[in-house]
């Protein structure tokens, strides 16, 4: 066959391919089906367990066996996705109604992961077997080929309750995501029964039955008035809080006990909550909390906060609501696959889709049952008729050479090849007209069936069959009768599996918390050469000034409401709130500055530290290792971000010095002659002992994002080692190479010259 090259626009191919990929992820991986509320991986796992016979009343089987069988037959997307889905379906703190009965370590509410699948075992829950997988043998749902067309799998499970709402769902597809909270089974069933009674029921009327989400972790939903609009649209934010109690102790020392947590706190967020409370205590925003302990166990959540004597517990609870995950929002988005396309639905639409599905599977179920009963009726009527002429049938069987001749006689009355005792028998046999199915049953009938009691039993069975046929025909032909059948099934499920609601729905009072205004006062910042920082009282510093100055690299006075600026050799500025630093005694170690800022001591080095307030009305003079210089107004560094780029650097260069210089203030109306002159000088000292002195005014003012100008012409392999700024009218002496040098006596030159080498 001759090869053909088809020319196509590249963008058209990419668009089609991406749409195909997106729809595959949406339909076949990430989103649940509105009918059974299951994603494909969940549906396949449950069906595989059903096929393996791992029922609720059978022994547990290794999860590795379940995962391997599911992956090999139905879900070829890796074992981790299957096992993760299996684990979640077994966790009672994530699902309103667990579908899998797990045996072994299936993780904890605090975020501990499940054990490896080779160690854990599982089987189906009873509700899964009876409500999710029942009637699969009655042709109630369509089956399709698996990925390699060697097996058949159900395209949807015949779930009799709205599982999308019962267990909720979460999933991220391409360009869309779903997040449905769990609900109470009893409330959902009552809502469906109300829907069956009144197909025109409104969302507002349905919410008389479905109060709102029912999270397995309990908690309190505090925006009850918003729920109606959320359930109409299927989208919105549900505000949830943990349940908090105050236990009164001896001596006025109370404790706050958290007994239920918001659903969003399940997992690692419990640890984050404990850390957040610890941070509030360390930052002195919650000084009345003296201890926090997690006493949770299998019996339930119990997080205890010990308080100081006469502490205001209500104020602390409000602070926890505002500052931690104890109050959180659940972003509800009821997106699911309906009619092979993703759709965002409200409460009414979800229930309507599910009830339509119930009518469909009920219709298919009773059509299958009716067909079986009609087949049974045909056989029973044939056997009853055969009992009346049993002697003739025995004569036919004895006179036949083979089964084919006997069957032909029973069905079509052919008597040519059969020997009869009399012509009367032959004539009577020629009138027989049993059906094929009846003839087969007669030929397979055992002689004990001719006992009188057996015949009587056959008659009763036939009467029951006729009653069943009438019943099934009534269900299939009368909509009201089918509705009664569905309602009765719902009642039975509610009676067997409904549990009381765990989550309280109310209009909670807005948590009001006003942070106590911090009394502004001066403190002394101390940071040693190992980058451990702290603050101490000014009076304590003044009494121990010599010791503090000798033991620390950076020492200065600042306000406790200020920020500390850390300039590093990478041209980065990190800021730290003074309140985030530990306040203590002179001998306290302090905290690594890495712990309270984004500074990373392994990758950068601090070259200058200053309080932010001190940078007002000052220039910062930046000098790099290869001699680039610039001045930047200090106000440019007064930003909200904790980390910013303080300067731009050439490749391979780094900041070696940051110094401050007072700005010359020009008042309005001042003449040029009246403007004060800047008498500052700058001295650059290189590693090879070259000094260059020039006027500070030669360094131009630039923005943070500029590189600057060259300050000195460096000789090969030389770098800047020290930078000095001083007033030329004041004598300044430094020690270099074990000799004192008067900087003010160095020869004054211009910027961007070579400078002079120091000689002994």
What confidence tier does 278 reach under pLDDT thresholds 50, 70, 90?
Answer: confident
Q: Left (φ > 0), alpha (ψ -120 to 50) or beta: where does 209 sit? A: alpha
What's phi and psi for 696, nearest 5 deg?
-60, -30
What confidence tier does 407 reach under pLDDT thresholds 50, 70, 90?
Answer: confident
Domain boundary among 605, 639, 656: 605
pLDDT tens for each residue of 312-347: 888 899 999 988 999 999 999 999 999 888 999 999
Residues 202 and 348: beta-carbon distance below 8 Å: yes
Instruction: Give the Cα separation of 684 and 709 in Å (integer).
Output: 14
- Measuring CA to CA, how many Å separate 187 from each of 2, 9, 334, 496, 740? 67, 55, 18, 14, 89
Give the 3-state secondary structure of residue 164. Answer: helix
474 CA to centre of own chain? 48
What is the chain's Cα-based Rg?
42
Q: Does 223 reside within a domain?
A: no
Mean pLDDT confidence for 709-714: 93
Mean pLDDT confidence for 438-461: 76
> Pairing relation of β-strands 628-633 and 618-624?
antiparallel
Q: Does 17 reside within a domain?
A: no
Instruction: Give the Cα separation of 294 and 300 in Å (integer).
Output: 11
Is 119 an active-site residue? yes
Q: Does 436 reside within a domain?
A: yes
Give the 3-state secondary structure of residue 191. Answer: helix
User: Of 520 and 698, which is predicted with more confidence?
Assistant: 698
What confidence tier does 484 reach under pLDDT thresholds 50, 70, 90?
Answer: very high
Catalytic residue, from 18, 60, 119, 321: name it. Answer: 119
- Measuring CA to CA, how many Å separate 95 from each of 27, 163, 199, 216, 217? 22, 10, 29, 7, 10
Q: Does 31 reside within a domain?
A: no
CATH code of residue 759 = 2.120.10.90
Q: What is the pLDDT of residue 570?
A: 94
Q: Does 8 reside within a domain?
A: no
Q: Left (φ > 0), alpha (ψ -120 to 50) or beta: where does 416 sit? A: alpha
Task: Give 124's strand partners.
Answer: 100
Q: Does 183 reside within a domain?
A: no
Instruction: Give the Cα separation of 722 and 724 in Å (integer).
Output: 7
Q: E strands, 83-139, where?
A: 100-103, 121-124
Q: Does 185 reside within a domain?
A: no
Question: Which residue is listed with tokens 């451990």?
Answer: 532
728 lies in the same domain as 597 = no
Q: What is the pLDDT of residue 533?
A: 92
> Pairing relation of β-strands 720-727 and 709-710?
unpaired
Residues 476 and 282: beta-carbon distance below 8 Å: no
Mean pLDDT confidence for 657-664: 86
Count of CB atoms situated within 10 Å of the CB of 460:
9
Q: Which of 5, 325, 347, 291 lies closest to 165 in space, CA to CA? A: 347
357 lies in the same domain as 489 = yes
Residues 526 and 555: beta-carbon distance below 8 Å: yes
Q: What is the pLDDT of residue 26?
A: 73
Mean pLDDT confidence for 294-318: 89
Inform me whether the pLDDT recorded for 125 exceeds 70: yes
pLDDT tens for each residue of 149-163: 999 999 999 999 999
Inform me whether the pLDDT recorded for 688 exceeds 70: yes
Residues 98 and 51: beta-carbon distance below 8 Å: no
Which pair of structure tokens corresponds to residue 424? 């009367």
Q: What is the pLDDT of residue 449?
A: 64
pLDDT tens for each residue of 621-650: 999 999 999 999 999 998 888 999 999 999
Instruction: Give the Cα separation of 491 and 485 in Å (integer).
Output: 10
CATH code of residue 105 = 3.90.199.10
Question: Which residue is listed with tokens 């925006």?
Answer: 223
Identify the domain containing residue 42 by its residue range. 38-158
Residues 104 and 113: beta-carbon distance below 8 Å: no
Instruction: Give the Cα separation of 531 and 527 in Å (integer).
Output: 6
Which pair of structure tokens corresponds to residue 621? 């003079």
User: Of 447 and 564, which is predicted with more confidence?
Assistant: 564
321 CA to centre of own chain? 21
Stretch among 52-56, 280-284, 652-656 having the lowest mean pLDDT: 280-284
148 lies in the same domain as 43 = yes
Q: What is the pLDDT of residue 721?
A: 93
476 lies in the same domain as 551 = no
State the burial class of residue 13 (Cβ atoms within 10 Å of its Cβ: 0-12, 13-18, 19+): exposed
- The secondary element (H helix, E strand) that includes residue 622 is strand 618-624
- The secondary element (H helix, E strand) that includes residue 391 is helix 390-399
489 lies in the same domain as 560 = no
Q: What is the pLDDT of residue 448?
A: 66
Q: Does 2 reside within a domain?
A: no
Instruction: Give the Cα separation of 647 and 335 in Å (integer).
Output: 48
Q: What is the pLDDT of residue 452?
A: 59
3-state per-residue secondary structure call for 511-543 = CCCCCCCCCCCEEEEEECCCCEEEEEEHHHHHH
587 lies in the same domain as 537 = yes
Cβ contacts of 305-312, under 8 Å, gap ≥ 24: 305/255, 305/256, 305/257, 305/258, 305/277, 306/253, 306/255, 307/253, 307/254, 307/255, 307/256, 308/253, 309/251, 309/252, 309/253, 310/252, 311/254, 312/288
Give the 3-state secondary structure of residue 166. Answer: helix
652 lies in the same domain as 759 = yes
467 lies in the same domain as 554 = no
What's phi and psi for 243, nearest 5 deg?
-90, 125
How many independent structural domains does the chain possess?
5
Count of CB atoms situated within 10 Å of the CB of 89:
25
265 lies in the same domain as 312 = yes
What confidence tier does 1 reach under pLDDT thresholds 50, 70, 90?
Answer: low
Q: What is the DSSP string of 96-111?
A: SS--EEEES----TTS
Average pLDDT, rounded, for the chain: 89
What's phi and psi for 308, nearest 5 deg?
-70, 165
Give the 3-state secondary structure of residue 481. Answer: helix
- The secondary element (H helix, E strand) that includes residue 468 is helix 452-477
DSSP code of residue 701: B
CATH code of residue 266 = 3.30.1360.40
620 lies in the same domain as 756 = yes
Q: Which of 221, 219, 225 lies closest to 238 in space, CA to CA? A: 221
Q: What is the pLDDT of residue 236?
A: 95
CB-side neighbour CA atoms (13 Å) of 237? 5
Stretch among 14-28, 74-88, 485-499, 586-600 having the lowest mean pLDDT: 14-28
Which pair of structure tokens corresponds to residue 680? 């500052």
Cβ contacts of 396-402, under 8 Å, gap ≥ 24: 396/420, 396/429, 397/443
Q: In the chain, what percentage of residues exceed pLDDT 70?
A: 96
Domain boundary among 120, 141, 158: 158
Inform me whether the pLDDT recorded for 672 exceeds 70: no
Q: What is the pLDDT of residue 665?
A: 54
What confidence tier does 585 reach under pLDDT thresholds 50, 70, 90?
Answer: confident
Instruction: Give the Cα separation of 166 and 287 in Å (integer).
Output: 42
Domain boundary among 605, 626, 651: 605
Instruction: Give the Cα separation of 205 and 760 in Å (integer).
Output: 98
622 lies in the same domain as 597 = no
Q: What is the pLDDT of residue 157?
A: 96
CB-side neighbour CA atoms (13 Å) of 710? 9
pLDDT tens for each residue of 45-90: 999 999 999 999 999 999 999 999 999 999 998 899 999 999 999 9
What confidence tier does 416 reach under pLDDT thresholds 50, 70, 90?
Answer: confident
pLDDT tens for each residue of 525-564: 999 999 999 999 999 999 999 999 989 999 999 998 899 9
588 lies in the same domain as 663 = no
């Amino acid at each position: 066959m001759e090869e053909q090259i088809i020319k196509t626009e590249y963008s058209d191919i990419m668009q089609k391919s991406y749409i195909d990929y997106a729809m595959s992820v949406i339909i076949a991986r990430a989103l649940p089906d509105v009918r059974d509320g299951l994603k494909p991986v969940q549906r396949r796992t449950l069906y595989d367990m059903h096929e393996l016979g791992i029922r609720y009343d059978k022994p547990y089987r290794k999860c590795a066996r379940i995962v391997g069988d599911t992956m090999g037959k139905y879900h070829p997307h890796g074992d981790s996705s299957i096992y993760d889905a299996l684990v979640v379906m077994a966790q009672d703190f994530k699902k309103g109604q667990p579908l899998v009965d797990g045996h072994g370590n299936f993780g904890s509410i605090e975020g501990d992961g499940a054990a490896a699948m080779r160690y854990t075992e599982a089987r189906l829950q009873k509700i899964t077997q009876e409500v999710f997988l029942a009637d699969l043998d009655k042709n109630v749902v369509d089956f399709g080929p698996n990925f390699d067309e060697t097996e058949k799998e159900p395209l949807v499970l015949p779930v009799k309750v709205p599982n999308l709402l019962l267990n909720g769902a979460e999933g991220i597809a391409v360009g869309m995501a779903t997040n449905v909270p769990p609900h109470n089974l009893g409330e959902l069933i009552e809502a469906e029964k109300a829907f069956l009674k009144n197909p025109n029921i409104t969302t507002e009327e349905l919410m008389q039955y479905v109060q709102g989400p029912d999270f397995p972790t309990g908690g309190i939903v505090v925006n009850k008035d918003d729920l109606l609009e959320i359930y109409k649209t299927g989208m919105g934010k549900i505000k949830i809080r943990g349940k908090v109690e105050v236990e009164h102790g001896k001596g006025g020392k109370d404790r706050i006990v958290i007994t239920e947590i918001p659903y969003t706190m399940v997992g690692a967020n419990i640890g984050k909550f404990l850390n957040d409370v610890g941070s509030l205590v360390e930052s002195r925003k919650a000084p009345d909390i003296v201890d926090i302990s997690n006493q949770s166990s299998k019996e339930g959540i119990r997080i205890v906060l010990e308080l100081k004597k006469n502490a205001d517990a209500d104020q602390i609870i409000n602070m926890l609501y505002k500052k931690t995950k104890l109050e959180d929002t659940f972003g509800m988005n009821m997106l699911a696959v309906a009619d092979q396309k993703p759709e965002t639905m409200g409460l009414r639409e979800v229930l309507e889709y599910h009830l339509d599905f119930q009518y469909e599977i009920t219709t298919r179920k009773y059509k299958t049952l009716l067909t079986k009963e009609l087949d049974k009726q045909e056989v029973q009527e044939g056997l009853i008729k055969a009992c009346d002429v049993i002697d003739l049938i025995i004569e036919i069987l004895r006179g036949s050479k083979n089964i084919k001749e006997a069957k032909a006689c029973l069905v079509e009355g052919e008597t040519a090849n059969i020997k009869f005792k009399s012509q009367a028998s032959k004539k009577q046999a020629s009138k027989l007209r049993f059906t094929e199915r009846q003839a087969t049953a007669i030929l397979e009938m055992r002689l004990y069936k001719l006992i009188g009691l057996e015949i009587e039993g056959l008659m009763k069975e036939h009467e029951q069959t006729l009653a069943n046929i009438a019943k099934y025909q009534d269900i299939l032909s009368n909509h009201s009768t089918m509705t009664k059948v569905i309602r009765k099934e719902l009642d039975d499920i509610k009676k067997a599996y409904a549990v009381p609601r765990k989550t309280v729905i109310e209009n909670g009072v807005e948590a009001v918390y006003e942070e106590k205004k911090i009394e502004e006062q001066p403190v002394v910042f101390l940071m040693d050469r190992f980058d451990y920082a702290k603050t101490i009282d000014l009076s304590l510093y003044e009494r121990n000034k010599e010791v503090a100055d000798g033991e620390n690299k950076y020492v200065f006075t600042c306000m406790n409401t200020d920020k500390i600026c850390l300039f590093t050799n990478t041209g980065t500025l990190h800021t730290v709130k003074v309140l985030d630093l530990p306040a203590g005694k002179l001998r306290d170690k302090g905290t690594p500055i890495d712990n309270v800022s984004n500074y990373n001591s392994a990758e950068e080095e601090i070259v200058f530290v200053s309080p932010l307030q001190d940078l007002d009305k000052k220039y910062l003079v930046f000098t790099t290792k290869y001699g680039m210089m610039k001045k930047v107004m200090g106000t440019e560094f007064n930003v909200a971000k904790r980390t910013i780029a303080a300067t731009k650097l050439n490749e391979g260069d780094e900041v070696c010095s940051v110094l401050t210089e007072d700005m010359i203030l020009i008042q309005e109306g001042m003449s040029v002659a009246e403007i004060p002159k800047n008498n500052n000088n700058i001295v650059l000292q290189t590693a090879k002992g070259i000094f260059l002195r020039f006027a500070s005014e030669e360094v131009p003012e630039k923005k943070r994002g500029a590189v600057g100008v060259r300050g000195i012409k460096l000789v090969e392999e030389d770098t800047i080692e020290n930078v000095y700024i001083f007033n030329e009218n004041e004598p300044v002496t430094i020690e270099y190479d074990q000799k004192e040098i008067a900087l003010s006596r160095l020869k004054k030159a211009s910027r961007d010259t070579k400078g002079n080498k120091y000689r002994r």
